[in-house]
Structure 1
Amino acid sequence: MPGIVRSLCLLACVTFAFPQTSLFCQDSAGPTEAEMAGYLLVPHERVDKKYDAGFSLYVNAWPLLENYPGQRFQTGLFGTWMFAQSDTPRSMDTYSDIEGGLGWWRDTRFATETPKFIMGGVAKSFSEWANGPGAGKGRDWSKPNGKYGVAQLSPHIVWPPDGLNLEQGTNGKLFGYGYLPLPLADAKPTTAGQDVPTGDQCWTLFLNTGNFKGPVAFFTPYFWTKPSLKDASLAGKFLDSRPANPNKAIQMETQYVPAFTAVDSNGVTFARIAPTRFPHDAEGNSPVVHRVTAFEKSALWDDVQAWFAGGDPASGKVDANASVVQSFEPRGGSTWKLYPVGTPKDQRITIDWKAFATPVNLDASTYGYRWNEELVTKPAAGAQALVKLPEYFRLTDNNKGAKQWVAVQAKDVPAETDLANVIFPRAINHSAQPYVTPEESTSPWKSPGPAAGPFRIDLGDGSVLTYSWYRFADQPAILNADLTDQEREAMQKKVELLHRNWTKDRDYLPPPTRGELADLDPALLVTPPKGLEVGYVPIATRQERAPKAKAP
């Protein structure tokens, strides 16, 4: 009976009182709310610094948790952090990078079990960040904080401010992406009227998915330079002008997975985590990262620059001869820790990950895991191809006398802990506030304003996206990129060349050598109105939950 009451209490807390910070209506004798967090580390080959013009990689996309648990849930899937090369050690005083990827975030408003993608550009010391066109730090447009940091480039796909949607239910497929600089802007000796230079590198997101390929959007150079206006000594240290460091960390960063702990009558502590899964292929392995590639600047920049100067059209296909595929090392670790909520960092206890997961090189360019089948649960015949990690753990001492959590079977957890009756129900944020954009007639959203629209599309995450078509040079991000009218028009001409020549159905990034590509939500693929096929881009102006939306 206590377990049933607790389950009902949990359901009420999570489902109906969402988004409270607590997932648990705790009684004094029952399980204690806990969490799991940490990194999974992917060691790989270091390469020469000449490969300084970006990267591409393929990461497995899958629903990590069985049920989306609410807005406290924050974790990426496997991804990377691209910093500018620097002659001095990195510090928070100059921290700036591109660190987006697939995942779930606390500010995701229309989340499901299927991950979304964000660009994740970070300006100096997290002063601003930019996640996509119209998406950045916070939602207060009087403090843009990066929301104008990304400009839309593609006329074929519209970017939701809540994150780029994959097709709902995506599981075990590869999501290909990368960043390379395009010479869309010219370097400037001054910025916003000050003697602070801005570089010419427009770091552009390229995708390789099943239903869309090519460039999508780019960080404006001004996004990186803007913090230097307050400290001119920082000029020239960021990605607008500096080459990229090809030796990037590849990791899976998890900040919160819900869990509970309980103590039995013998004083032994047990824990249970929300059902957590990994992709599972026909051989019983979990491939997670594939074909990490670093590029020299000549891989794309030189041909495009010559084209913009009047030469022959560049194909846009990255030159494989100016790239290197970084190999993986058959090792790797985990810093996953499990602890009651509020536990100080120095008292959080690690999980014995290696007892049930073994890192492996599945081929020369694919990293993944094999599993201890006595501790994980393989998918049943006909079920989703997902292996479930251990749910239950016991706190014990390792051979060095340090505390650690070891995986145990459900039958080995005393019934008195009541952990078997804890549930992790699905949460839906029915009260999610819409994303909106400025309505003032003088705002860059209205002046000069769109050329066509608004249009509405229903997305697979249960939201409705409203968007309009803007002339590229008149989109809000470009109007806020510290460009003169002449500079904007020069950029417009370059973009029109791209729109006429670069289609969405051929390879730009090096393709994968294994697996199947994931699809984007088909609703995001749009067609320009007649007469606006070249030089115009779709810009989202509102995103809201669909009326009486049900869980996807």
Structure 2
Amino acid sequence: MKHYYFLFTFLISLSISAQVEKATFKPYLFMSYSDDIPDTHIYGAMHYTNIHNTVPDEWVGSFYQSGMMHTWYRPAKIYDLPDYHRDAYGYHSIEGGAGYKPANSFHNYKTPQKFTMGGVAGGFGAFSNGPGQGSPGFKNSRKSPTLRWEDNTGRYGAAVISNNLLFPLDGIGFEEGENNKMFGYGYYALPLTEPKSTTAGQNKPTGNRSWTLFFNTENFSGPVAFHTPYHWSKRSLTQESTIGRNLDNSLLKRSPRFQRETNNLPAKKWVNSNGDTYYKISPALMPMDADGIGRIGTMPMNMDDTMWNAVSNWFNGGPVASTNFNAKEGAVHIRTNTNFKASYRLDKTKYIASADFVTRVSDPNDPSAAAFKWKGDLIEKVEGRNLVKLPEYYVLLKGSKSPKAIAASEVPEESGLKALDSRADYENDWEFDNYNREAIYTPMLPEYTYSDKVVDAWKTPGPTAGPYYAKLEDGSTAVYYWYKFNEQPSILNSDMDEAERALIQKRIELIHTNWHSDDQYFPDPKQEKISLDKNLLVTPPKGLEVGYVPICIHQQLSTEKLPDFPEINRLETK
């Protein structure tokens, strides 16, 4: 009887081991750069990140999140403290950037990445992703009749500067079909405001570091928007350890390393009777240029106070500041790439022996490029595109710590792994919801009736002209009005009195008059620059060419009927 029991349990174990089970694949990349940033170069930073599709078009959806090459810009006055600890001082950062955003409502397929600003103040309770964009969870707050637009904890943290680029509520997208091209972005502390000793009526200071977002792309360059100083200093009202130390007052902590964060991608596994585990990952793509080199990003730049001084002098009656950050020798410091590490994991803890198929190389034409080269027969070129597909199959032998990439011919037929060839094979394990596609509303929605000081800023004094419509590559229509710069909701909710708003209006008018979207701001990369969605490029209406900005007030699928937004033309009364 005992013999039959052991035979029975052995057969059961064979049955269990023969099942294909859910697994995960996490492709995480680390890029290290020369730690030689001069102590004076902490007024701003910028870099280029490669925009490429990391999954095939038919796999695009909100089931995962992946940033492109990015870093974290943090306040030196907090992070350089000898006793810094997150519990005592909180978390503060400008982070993220371009990538796959699971909270997005709309997307392209061939170029689905979008850009958001990622201004985290005092922990993730104050998260500014862009004009009208707070924490991702704030965007579609259907359970609240106010849609939580009365919460000034991030949605009003960034203000529009550009009068030639629309910043949609769902983030800035790229031209559909663009792939394996460089996108330049970064932040510089422009003196758009003056420092003051009080914040929201309390004796706590607000500085004049306006961390301004700059782009360098094929069809648009220059300042886009900025995090208002109040977005940072507001945290000091309840978090006294940050008084005078946040990004409204502080310059940057040096940031030596870049990463590309990616959460888990679908995979499957099968265990044979010997205890060896075989894996198949869903399709995962990486860039490769004609020379066989992949370049994740390049040219991290750190800037000194040259532009700060030039702009300050300009704003105080001096000559117009040049748009060229690199006009003065040494003002821009460009770092050299020193390492690239592909940290690919299966089931969270099992590190793949990635050196079998990818290795770091020094780019002969660009020492700043985070460059790598594919090797071996397991790397598959994607036909018609400058992409490669990572090895699909791996084996973790019993007793080994590192899975190794293998050819399909080495995978046992009885595993059933080779029969998995479509997204449908993974849908029982993963939610492929293709983004929520829900409209993004603001208090400008005609039926929005809630009223308080914060939400009333959308309508009082309100837009100058509109509505206007932009049909975007992501399948949505963005509705926008033209606001006087200092009458946009973010400025009205940034603790500025009338005199302060008049001053910043004057300074923005100088920028609109003298800085243009086709000027040179930063050195160009060796590789091609990517283009933004051309439908985001806008021209001010006649009479609003200087001092007015486009503010997105609604976004929804282009196939759906739009609300009836009121026609506004206040220009004649000015």
- Does the TM-score normalized on the shorter chain lie above 0.5? yes
Q: Name the SS of the counterpart of 1:258 in structure 2.
A: strand
**For residues 121 and 423 of structure 1, do their structure 2 counterparts lie closer, same or farther at Cα, with a shift above 3 Å needed?**
farther
Q: Shift of the alpha carbon at 1:28? A: 11
Number of matched pairs: 508
**For residues 511 and 430 of structure 1, do their structure 2 counterparts lie closer, same or farther at Cα, with a shift above 3 Å needed?**
closer
Q: Could you say which residue in structure 1 is the equivalent of 2:12?
A: none
Q: Deviations over 1:373-393 (max 9, x none)?
A: 32211244xx11111111111
Q: Could you say which residue in structure 2 is the equivalent of 1:524?
A: 536
Structure 1 residues 306-321: aligned runs within 5 Å: 306-319=313-326, 320-321=328-329
**For residues 127 and 370 of structure 1, do their structure 2 counterparts lie closer, same or farther at Cα, with a shift above 3 Å needed?**
same
Match of 2:184 among 176, 179, 183: 176
Checking the alignment, whether the CA contact within 8 Å between 2:17 and 2:270 is kept in structure 1 is: no
Q: Take 1:424 and 1:480, find their aligned partners in 2: how far apart are those partners? A: 49
Structure 1 residues 231-246: aligned runs within 5 Å: 231-246=239-254
Q: Take 2:513 and 2:382, find their aligned partners in 1: how far apart are those partners? A: 47
**For residues 169 and 89 of structure 1, do their structure 2 counterparts lie closer, same or farther at Cα, with a shift above 3 Å needed?**
farther
Q: Could you say which residue in structure 1 is the equivalent of 2:6?
A: none
Structure 1 residues 369-384: aligned runs within 5 Å: 369-380=372-383, 383-384=384-385
Match of 1:365 among 357, 364, 368: 368
Q: Take 1:79 and 1:360, find their aligned partners in 2: how far apart are those partners? A: 20
Give 1:54's aligned amino acid: G
Q: Could you say which residue in structure 2 is the equivalent of 1:78?
A: 69
Computing the radius of gyration from Cα coordinates, the structure with the larger value is: 2
Q: Could you say which residue in structure 2 is the equivalent of 1:209?
A: 217
Q: Shift of the alpha carbon at 1:231? A: 2.2
Q: Shift of the alpha carbon at 1:233? A: 2.6
Q: Take 1:92 and 1:421, find their aligned partners in 2: how far apart are those partners? A: 48
Checking the alignment, whether the CA contact within 8 Å between 2:62 and 2:433 is kept in structure 1 is: no
Q: Shift of the alpha carbon at 1:152? A: 0.2
Checking the alignment, whether the CA contact within 8 Å between 2:17 and 2:271 is kept in structure 1 is: no
Unaligned runs of 5+ in 1: 1-26, 340-344
Structure 1 residues 387-466: aligned runs within 5 Å: 387-396=388-397, 403-425=401-423, 429=434, 431-438=436-443, 439-440=448-449, 443-466=456-479
- Please tell me whether residue 96 in structure 1 is matched to residue 92 in structure 2: yes
Q: Shift of the alpha carbon at 1:38? A: 5.4
Q: Could you say which residue in structure 2 is the equivalent of 1:12?
A: none
Q: Take 1:507 and 1:109, find their aligned partners in 2: how far apart are those partners? A: 33
Match of 2:151 among 139, 143, 156: 143
Give 1:495's aligned amino acid: I
Q: Shift of the alpha carbon at 1:162? A: 1.4
Q: Take 1:407 and 1:422, find their aligned partners in 2: how far apart are those partners? A: 17
> Which one is further off, 370-379 or 440-449?
440-449
Q: TM-score, normalised on structure 1?
A: 0.88
Q: Could you say which residue in structure 2 is the equivalent of 1:218?
A: 226
Q: Could you say which residue in structure 2 is the equivalent of 1:106?
A: 102
Q: Shift of the alpha carbon at 1:41? A: 0.9
Checking the alignment, whether the CA contact within 8 Å between 1:69 and 1:425 is kept in structure 2 is: no
> Which one is further off, 445-454 or 148-157?
445-454
Q: Shift of the alpha carbon at 1:90? A: 4.7
Checking the alignment, whether the CA contact within 8 Å between 2:220 and 2:518 is kept in structure 1 is: yes
Q: Take 2:39 and 2:279, find their aligned partners in 1: how far apart are those partners? A: 45
Give 2:324's aligned amino acid: K
**For residues 198 and 265 of structure 1, do their structure 2 counterparts lie closer, same or farther at Cα, with a shift above 3 Å needed?**
same
Q: Shift of the alpha carbon at 1:428? A: 6.2
- Please tell me whether residue 481 in structure 1 is matched to residue 472 in structure 2: no
Q: TM-score, normalised on structure 2?
A: 0.85
Checking the alignment, whether the CA contact within 8 Å between 1:207 and 1:215 is kept in structure 2 is: yes
Q: Shift of the alpha carbon at 1:429? A: 3.4
Q: Take 1:266 and 1:77, find their aligned partners in 2: how far apart are those partners? A: 39
Q: Take 1:548 and 1:542, find their aligned partners in 2: how far apart are those partners? A: 13
> Which one is further off, 521-530 or 432-441?
432-441
Checking the alignment, whether the CA contact within 8 Å between 1:259 and 1:273 is kept in structure 2 is: yes
Q: Name the SS of the counterpart of 2:380 in structure 1.
A: coil
Q: Name the SS of the counterpart of 2:556 in structure 1.
A: strand
Q: Could you say which residue in structure 2 is the equivalent of 1:352?
A: 353
- Please tell me whether residue 34 in structure 1 is matched to residue 35 in structure 2: no
Quote the RMSD (CA, aligned, Å).
2.1
Give 1:483's aligned amino acid: M
- Please tell me whether residue 55 in structure 1 is matched to residue 45 in structure 2: yes
Give 1:525's aligned amino acid: L
Q: Take 2:107 and 2:397, find their aligned partners in 1: how far apart are those partners? A: 36
Checking the alignment, whether the CA contact within 8 Å between 1:55 and 1:246 is kept in structure 2 is: no
Match of 1:262 among 267, 270, 274: 270
**For residues 467 and 275 of structure 1, do their structure 2 counterparts lie closer, same or farther at Cα, with a shift above 3 Å needed?**
same
Q: Take 2:536 and 2:96, find their aligned partners in 1: how far apart are those partners? A: 19
**For residues 366 and 429 of structure 1, do their structure 2 counterparts lie closer, same or farther at Cα, with a shift above 3 Å needed?**
closer
Q: Deviations over 1:272-308 (max 9, x none)?
A: 222111111111110111111111122x111111000
Q: Could you say which residue in structure 2 is the equivalent of 1:328?
A: 337
> Which one is further off, 477-486 or 133-142?
133-142
Q: Deviations over 1:296-344 (max 9, x none)?
A: 122x111111000011111222135212111111x332333221xxxxx
Q: Name the SS of the counterpart of 2:541 in structure 1.
A: coil
Unaligned runs of 5+ in 2: 1-15, 140-147, 425-431, 562-574
Q: Deviations over 1:76-113 (max 9, x none)?
A: 01111111112236533332111122111221121344
Q: Could you say which residue in structure 1 is the equivalent of 2:570?
A: none
Q: Name the SS of the counterpart of 1:82 in structure 2.
A: coil
Q: Shift of the alpha carbon at 1:402? A: 5.0
Q: Shift of the alpha carbon at 1:266? A: 4.2
Checking the alignment, whether the CA contact within 8 Å between 2:75 and 2:93 is kept in structure 1 is: yes
**For residues 248 and 83 of structure 1, do their structure 2 counterparts lie closer, same or farther at Cα, with a shift above 3 Å needed?**
farther
Q: Shift of the alpha carbon at 1:161? A: 1.7
